[in-house]
C-alpha cells in the first residue's frame, strides 16, 4: 500500500477534521453556523471552505499540477482576506492540514514505512503555502485597488470639471482605467 491509497481510504475523516479545525479559528459561537448551514447561498463562507478543503485534499492526493490548486486556494483566501485574520492566520489552514494528516494517519504511515512519501507530500503542501502567500497579498492589494477605483469613480467628474484631468483622445474613458494627467 502506498500513501496515496492510504489517504484515499482516510479521506473523509481527514477532510472532516481539517474543515473542523479551520472553523475553530472563528468565534466558537459561529463555528456551528458555518459547519451546519449547508446552503451554499445562505452560507457562502462555510460552503467555500468545506468544498475548497475537500478539493485541495483530492488534488494533493492525485498529485495534480500546481495550476489546479490556484483557483481552489483563491476561493478560500479571497474570503479570508476580508475577515479580520492576520496574514499568518489567514493561510495557516494549510499548516493545519499537515498536522491533521499526521494525527489521523501518522501511526499507519510509520508502520507501513511511508514516511518518505509523507515528507514529499508535506513539501508539496509547503509549496501551496508559498502560493497562498502570493494569493493573500494579491487579494489585499485588490482591496486597495477597488477602494481606489471607487474613489476615482466618485471623483472623476469632479476632477474633470475642475479641469484637473484631461482625457486622452481615442482612449477608452471608463473611469478607473483612464490615464490621469494633472495640469498642475
Partner 1 sequence: MAVQKPEELSKVVYTFPSTPWMDTPVEIKKGIFCWGNKEKSLKAVGFPNPRQWSVTDEDWKLPDNWKEIFIEGLRERVDKYRSFRLFLDICVRCGACADKCHFYIGGGDPKNMPVLRAELLRSIYRKYCTTSGKIMGKVAGARELTTSVIKELWYYAYQCTECRRCSLFCPYGIDTAEITILIRELVNLLGLNIEWIAGPVANCWKTGNHMGLLPHTIIDIVSEFKEAIYQVTGLKVDLSYNRKGAEILFVHPSGEYFDPNGNVTFMGYMMLFHEIGLDVTLSTYSSEGGNFGFFTSNEMAKRLHSKIYAEAKRLKVKWILGGECGHMWRVWHQYHNTWFGPVDYLEEPVSPITGTKFENAKSNKIVHITEFTADLIRHGKLNLDPKRNDKYVVTFHDSCNTSRAMGLFEEPRYIIKNVCNNFYEMPPQTIRENTFCCGSGSGLNASENMELRLRGALPRGNAVRHVRDKFGVNTLANICQIDRATLQTLVDYWAKGVAVRGVHELVGNALVMKGEKERTTDLRGDPLPGKEGE
Partner 2 sequence: MGILFSFFAVVALIVVVFVGVQGANLHYLFGVIIPFAAFITFIVGIVYRVFRWGKVPVPFRIPTTGGQQTSFPWIKASRIDNPSSALGVAVRMALEVLLFRSLFRNMRSELRDGPKLSYASSKWLWLGGIAFHYTFLIILIRHMRLFFEPVPGIIKIAESLDGFFQVGAPVVYVTDVVFLGAVTFLFLRRVVIPQLRYISLAADYFPLFLIGGIGVTGVLMRYFFKTDVVGIKELTMGWITFSPVVPQGIHIIFYVHLFLVSSLLAYFPMSKLMHMAGVFLSPTRNLANTNRAELHVNPWNYPVKVHTYEEYEDDYREFMKSAGLPVEKE
- The footprint of partner 2 (CB under 8 A) covers 28-33, 36-43, 47
Say if CB 180 and CB 165 are below 8 A apart: yes
- Contact between 2 and partner 1 per CB under 8 A: no
67 binds, among partner 1, partner 2, none (CB under 5 to 8 A by kind): none
- Contact between 38 and partner 1 per CB under 8 A: no
- Contact between 50 and partner 1 per CB under 8 A: no
CA distances from 167 to 46, 152, 158, 160 (A): 45, 14, 13, 9
Say if CB 161 and CB 137 are below 8 A apart: no
Count the neighbouring beta carbons within 10 Å of the beta carbon of residue 52: 21
- Contact between 28 and partner 1 per CB under 8 A: yes
- Beta carbons within 8 Å of 110's beta carbon, 6+ residues apart: none
- Contact between 123 and partner 1 per CB under 8 A: no
Q: Which stretch binds partner 1 (CB under 8 A): 7-15, 61-69, 130-138, 170-178?
A: 170-178
DSSP secondary structure, 85-105, as one string? --HHHHTTHHHHHHHHHHHHH
- Contact between 138 and partner 1 per CB under 8 A: no
Q: Which stretch binds partner 1 (CB under 8 A): 5-13, 40-48, 52-60, 107-115?
A: 40-48
Residue 72 in grid coordinates: 481552489
- Contact between 74 and partner 1 per CB under 8 A: no
- Contact between 141 and partner 1 per CB under 8 A: no
Dist. CA 8–CA 130, nearest whole Å = 25
Which member of 7, 15, 26, 53 binds partner 1 (CB under 8 A)?
A: 26
Which member of 112, 124, 156, 166 binds partner 1 (CB under 8 A)?
A: 156
CA distances from 118 to 2, 5, 106, 122 (A): 10, 12, 9, 6
Give residues in contact with partner 1 (CB under 8 A). Answer: 21, 24-30, 33-34, 37, 39-45, 78-79, 82-86, 88-89, 92, 95-96, 99, 142-143, 146-147, 149-151, 153-154, 156-158, 161, 173-175
Amino acid at each position: 500500500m502506498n500513501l496515496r491509497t492510504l489517504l484515499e481510504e482516510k479521506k473523509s475523516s481527514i477532510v472532516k477534521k481539517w474543515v473542523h479545525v479551520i472553523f475553530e479559528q472563528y468565534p466558537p459561537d459561529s463555528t456551528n453556523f458555518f459547519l451546519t448551514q449547508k446552503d451554499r447561498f445562505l452560507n457562502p463562507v462555510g460552503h467555500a471552505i468545506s468544498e475548497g478543503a475537500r478539493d485541495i485534499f483530492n488534488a494533493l492526493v492525485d498529485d495534480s499540477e500546481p495550476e489546479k490548486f490556484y483557483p481552489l486556494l483563491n476561493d478560500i483566501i479571497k474570503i479570508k482576506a476580508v475577515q479580520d485574520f492576520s496574514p499568518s492566520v489567514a493561510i495557516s489552514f494549510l499548516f493545519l492540514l499537515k498536522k491533521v494528516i499526521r494525527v489521523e494517519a501518522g501511526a499507519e504511515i510509520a508502520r507501513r514505512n511511508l514516511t518518505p512519501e509523507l515528507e514529499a507530500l508535506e513539501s508539496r503542501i509547503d509549496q501551496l503555502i508559498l502560493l497562498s502567500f502570493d494569493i493573500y497579498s494579491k487579494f489585499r492589494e485588490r482591496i486597495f485597488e477597488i477602494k481606489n477605483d471607487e474613489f476615482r469613480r466618485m471623483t472623476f467628474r469632479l476632477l474633470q470639471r475642475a479641469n484637473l484631468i484631461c482625457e486622452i483622445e481615442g482612449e477608452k474613458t471608463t473611469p478607473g482605467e483612464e490615464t490621469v494627467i494633472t495640469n498642475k
